[in-house]
Amino acid sequence: MSDRELRPLRSIRITGDGRCLFRSVAYGACLRRGKQSPSDSIQKELADELRSKVADEFVRRRGDTEWFLEGDFESYVRQMRKPHVWGGEPELLMCSHVLRMPITVYMYTKGSDSPRIIAEYGQEYGKDNPICVLYDGYGHYDALQPSLVRTQSRLRGIQITEDYAT
């Protein structure tokens, strides 16, 4: 198990308004840049801005992305520009390119009391200090941030504690 997987992480509850993927990534990008945790209204603004840039990135990378998007490319991008449309793996990949930062996705797996890495994007931008998000398996993403308090659970794996952002 790598050192990255041993860091205690704290779960930050993100509003489930169709923007949760973009909110979670924007939240993580702020922390990674040394900025304060964004408020709910700032998260919304940042998420909508990121979503727009992600849609533009799809268009820029059409030759590389069109084949793995469901349905008609133009329709997909048009839908993705709408603020309440859920994002997924293709959007996470484009987020990493837009931000030029690595993104790591965690998820709880059956029989595990700690989340596991299920996907990593943007490894070409480095592997240290990725933006971390927690996927619930049902379409919702929360932000993850390194815990300020080191605990005994570090020896057992990743500690997740709930924290509800306002």
pLDDT for 58: 98
Q: Clarify whether 56 is annotated catalytic.
A: no
CA distance 69 to 71: 6
- Above 60 in pLDDT, residue 16? yes
pLDDT tens for residues 61-110? Answer: 999 999 999 999 999 999 999 999 999 999 999 999 999 999 999 999 88
CA distance 157 to 154: 5
The per-residue pLDDT for range 21-53, each reduced to its tens digit, is: 999 999 999 999 999 999 999 999 999 999 999
Q: Which CATH code of 3.30.428.10, 3.40.50.720, 3.40.50.300, 3.90.70.80 fits the domain covering 3-164?
A: 3.90.70.80
Q: In angstroms, rounded to a whole number, what is the distance separating the alpha carbons of residues 21 and 89?
A: 10
54 CB-side CA count, 13 A: 32
Q: What is the pLDDT of residue 86?
A: 95
pTM: 0.84
Could you confirm whether 20 is annotated as catalytic? Answer: yes
pLDDT of 3 > 60? The answer is: no
Catalytic residue among 20, 30, 95, 132: 20
What are the domain boundaries of the chain?
3-164
